[in-house]
A and B are shown apart, each in its own frame.
Chain A
């Protein structure tokens, strides 16, 4: 039998992926489309590639069905074949195919398109962790881990061989020797953990649109970094005149007012890293988004010093994204450019609108750090 389905299937995937590729910019700037579902998958609705032909438009003419009910009885929505309305032809109706891409695949496409280099973790080999996997069966163990099915099988086998099994009266009584228990095996694996720390300016000048940009961009950064490390921890800091650590939800939805003291956030960030994430065990990524309108020149100097002396030596990458805002002066990024542009693991990026997110991700992650 000659089957070439593999070729055709790959071709289809290629076309679908090509479609994603072409539309990647669109997807990235319309971050809402991609919802992370469950643990590993994102669903991207791809209209199943459909050949346009001459066909009827919305019919709303109803159709023919079979069953009980008086005129006026509603039909359950799933029961109605809305497209074909009861026609018996063999053409399948229009379907929306949701292509499930694993985060891995999505990141792969992203990487291909943005030409992202694979991240080189630092100090990865040094650390090993041990994990227990319950993948074995053992004859001894606690009753709470008893494997019912295996136990039953053993008992059944024993009774059949012993001739005490009666098909007409199939009682199976396990005895001690029949019992089987789940058991574990300890596995070692090299650890390379990453911390992503997001900081965002939530002062009065950061509007919803700016936050939207930050949100979308952080999704893609997460996606990429997560494919490169086994364990990724994400922390969030918001700041106006003072900084505080918040959860993800608050991070994206809080709107404060008031002034901006960026150094407050850098201080807190430094403290978190210092206290909880020893730099020789963790790959640390820090991203800061702001509209670049700091309170005073003095504070900006302080920030620069903090970066130079404390933060930059500890982190793999420090990304500063400046979001365009009608209120901000945008001075901060210029100060950074003038003072510490030569340091390798500092990346500065200007994001004027959603279209720029694409380029900005490339800026941030293009270094392979």
Chain B
């Protein structure tokens, strides 16, 4: 396969520029609020390249991008998959259009992009992201290239590989919460009280001489120091813990910091996938059907739109789920289908016909897009009516028949499953418990077991990666098949021990 990288920055053709101005006007007219948005036109190969880099034209060198590129190219070639659009959370927003798309597709994509841009700018979970990420990514790339020049490709690449194994061990909420006081409070601790040896008062200074008392005090103090744990509280941001406490060289610390920075940047996009895609879909549908479409384009638009929101029986399509929820919310608040009266009404007929004519829908969806993330969004708006109307179900593997089959249509269990799959992005919860485990400077992690075991072979390999960063034995406390286990990697071999509980 030959790749030609051309540095042709294609600005919009006059026709596309005109369309863009038109769509932007419509979007602003609806109240969408976004940073300036720069469109670029790419051919499919360039699109795949940019997509492989997560949308950023300049990333640090790593084979994983090449792997992603090959996957995208192959799936494009076999017609499995096509990227229509890409948009970057940045100020200004960058968005890419596919060169060979039909005009109606370009319009739709532009409308969709403005939906995303509005979401990026206004959703609270994005509020702490770096809005100059385009530049930062390029800086990261420069730094890592510099390290590669200095320390060699193999060495740096191997280190990046290790960091990437761990880059999901971050604390997605920590950017909003002060987990610990900025200055460590020197809290007045109870002075250690030395137990004296019982003696009558007149004998005391002989039986408990001052030297002895001081010695005892010192001993207690030492013990207290030893007992003192770090971190003081279980820490979910394992990467931060390693950055602050791991015996790393400067360049390694810098690389790890870069990987962590980028992981935090991408986190909100995963946190709001359903809302964000739904929001953009809602707006492209709205802008297109109410404003931008002309008669000849209706069929093409319908075709594309229905592809976007198609349901696949065994999967959740975030575009569809989000889109339907946004429409449902708007409808409910327009008609006043919320609040005490509505909830307590048990006449199905009048509930369905319920319409107070409040017209609060638009306001409500704008408010919702500001404050929610996927978990709270589903929790608040995935109502029983919605669930039944949209025909949701849970499925289960039936070992006897060897197939997945529909298990039930119970709203509670559907919602619970949905929420569970969103919690921590469906990843296990891992905390640092002790950086001085057994007083030997070993690292202890804890897996908060919530009913599903870890994949043990992967966990072992991950411990190995951790070992390279920590240079001392690393332990993971977890539960395997109902029994407490301590997995250890000591630099040479893996150990498994039973633990209590």
Contacts and interface: CB of A to CB of B under 8 A. Distances in A.
B427 A76 contact: no
B365 to A, nearest CB: 19
B257 interface: no
Contacts of B168: 53-54
Given A3-B49, A53-B165, A67-B391, A62 B5 contact: no
Contacts of B316: 63-66, 86-88
Interface string B458-474: 11011001000000000
Give the interface centre of A7, A48, A64, A68 by most chain B CB atoms within 10 Å: A64
A124 to B, nearest CB: 29
Nearest to A5: B49
Interface in A160-183: none
Nearest to A48: B67
Contact of A56 (B318, B396, B428): B428
Contacts of A9: 3, 65-66, 69-70
Contacts of B462: 52-54
Given A8-B65, A49-B67, A79 B58 contact: no
Contacts of A53: 165-166, 168, 427, 458, 462
Given A8-B69, A12-B66, A89-B426, 18 more contacts: A1-B46, A1-B57, A2-B58, A5-B3, A8-B61, A8-B62, A52-B461, A55-B454, A64-B393, A65-B314, A70-B406, A72-B405, A75-B314, A75-B404, A77-B403, A86-B314, A91-B425, A97-B71
A74 B421 contact: no
Contact of A54 (B53, B269, B421, B447): B447
A52 B458 contact: yes
Interface string B375-404: 000000000000000111111111001011
Contact of B405 (A3, A73, A81): A73
Contacts of A62: 394-397, 404, 407, 417
The 5 closest A-B pairs by CB, nearest first: A52-B461, A12-B66, A8-B66, A80-B314, A9-B66
A144 interface: no
A11 interface: yes
Contacts, number: 246
Q: How many B residues are at the interface, by size bracket?
A: 35 or more
A1 B313 contact: no
Nearest to A11: B63
Contact of A71 (B7, B138, B406, B417): B406
Contacts of A57: 452-456
Interface of A: 1-15, 48-49, 51-77, 79-82, 84-91, 95, 97
A88 B425 CA distance: 8
B92 to A, nearest CB: 16
B444 to A, nearest CB: 14
Given A56-B428, A95-B71, A80 B408 contact: no
A54 B392 contact: no
Contacts of A64: 316, 392-395, 414, 417-418, 421
B270 interface: yes
Contacts of B453: 56-57
Given A1-B57, A5-B5, A71 B70 contact: no
B328 to A, nearest CB: 14
Give the interface centre of B59, B269, B313, B456 by most chain A CB atoms within 10 Å: B313
Contact of A87 (B64, B403, B421, B465): B421
Given A64-B394, A65-B395, A95-B71, A75 B455 contact: no
Contacts of A71: 393, 405-409
B315 interface: yes
B70 A89 contact: no
20 contacts: A3-B7, A3-B50, A3-B53, A4-B59, A7-B61, A9-B66, A9-B69, A12-B67, A55-B427, A55-B454, A56-B455, A63-B394, A66-B317, A68-B391, A74-B398, A77-B404, A80-B314, A81-B314, A91-B270, A91-B425
B274 interface: yes
B430 interface: yes
Contact of A63 (B314, B454, B459): B314
Contacts of A88: 273-274, 316, 318, 321, 374, 421-422
A60 B58 CA distance: 40
A75 B426 CA distance: 22
Nearest to A86: B316
Contacts of A85: 421
B251 to A, nearest CB: 20
Contacts of A49: 63-64, 67
Contacts of B457: 52
A67 B455 CA distance: 31
Interface in B52-95: 52-53, 57-59, 61-67, 69-71
A2 B405 CA distance: 48
Contact of B169 (A13, A15, A54): A54
A6 B138 CA distance: 17
Contacts of B454: 54-57
A86 B421 contact: yes
A105 to B, nearest CB: 11
Contacts of A76: 313-314
Contacts of B9: 1
B312 interface: yes
Nearest to B164: A51
B320 interface: yes
